[in-house]
């Protein structure tokens, strides 16, 4: 069974991870991917981050649409 969470939780989590990665690492690709995935979620939800999403399914779709970035 798919596990869904509010889109806002996923976006905030990725943005928090970006902050940590920027402070301690030089992982430009990981940081760029996280930022682009957060933007992808915002666009896919029409900005309604209170809706439930399956983050794993959405990330798979993100990677399919943006293979270079995802």
State the average pLDDT over residues 8-17. Answer: 86
- Whole-model pTM over 0.75: no
Of the pLDDT bands very low, low, confident and very high (cuts 50, 70, 90), residue 57 is: very high
Of the pLDDT bands very low, low, confident and very high (cuts 50, 70, 90), residue 27 is: low
- pLDDT (0 to 100) of residue 59: 95
| Closest CA relative to residue 34, chosen from 51, 49, 19 | 19
Given a cut of 60, whether residue 46 has pLDDT beyond it is yes
């Amino acid at each position: 069974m798919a596990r869904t969470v509010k889109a806002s939780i996923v976006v905030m989590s990725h943005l928090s991870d970006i902050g940590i990665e920027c402070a301690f690492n030089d992982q430009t690709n990981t940081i760029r991917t996280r930022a682009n995935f957060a933007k992808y979620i915002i666009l896919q939800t029409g900005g309604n981050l209170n809706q439930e999403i399956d983050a794993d399914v959405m990330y798979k779709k993100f990677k399919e649409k943006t293979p270079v970035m995802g």
